[in-house]
Amino acid sequence: QVQLVQSGSELKKPGASVKVSCKASGYTFTRYAMNWVRQAPGQGLEWLGWINTNTGNPTYAQGFTGRFVFSLDTSVSTAYLQIISLKAEDTAVYYCARAEGELSPWGQGTLVTVSS
């Protein structure tokens, strides 16, 4: 079945970097875009952007350029989200989601906690 499996929780200090992985299975990875969404504790869903899995071209939502980097390794059907210079307000659950317009399925989420 179509499935996205994300890497485990991370605890980082402010200023550090983190890289979250999202491994796809059950479909041809390069046929669908991959989106990234975050959810701060107790808050709603916030769209970070998407990456074209065919060309590798990323598109970032407003406010998420510079410190957020999307990348791919198509040889292992995996998408990555790297966050540089982490801040306390980056504490959230980060989701990947396959896009065919609508988003489905979603990964299980990766909790990134930024704390000194």
Binding site for another protein (CB under 8 A): 35, 37, 44-47, 50, 59, 61-62, 95, 97, 99, 101-109
Question: 102-113: buried (b, 16+ CB within 10 Å) or exposed (e) per residue?
Answer: ebeeebebbbbb
5 vs 16 by CB, closer to another protein: 5
Pairing of strands 92-100, 33-39: antiparallel
As a whole number of angstroms, the distance between CA 25 and CA 46 comes to 25
62 vs 116 by CB, closer to another protein: 62
User: Could you tell me the smallest distance in angstroms from the CB atom of residue 25 to another protein?
Assistant: 16
30 vs 108 by CB, closer to another protein: 108
User: Could you tell me the smallest distance in angstroms from the CB atom of residue 35 to another protein?
Assistant: 6
User: Could you tell me the smallest distance in angstroms from the CB atom of residue 108 to another protein?
Assistant: 6
Q: Which residues pair with 84 in a beta bridge?
A: none
Q: Which residues pair with 93 in a beta bridge?
A: 39, 111
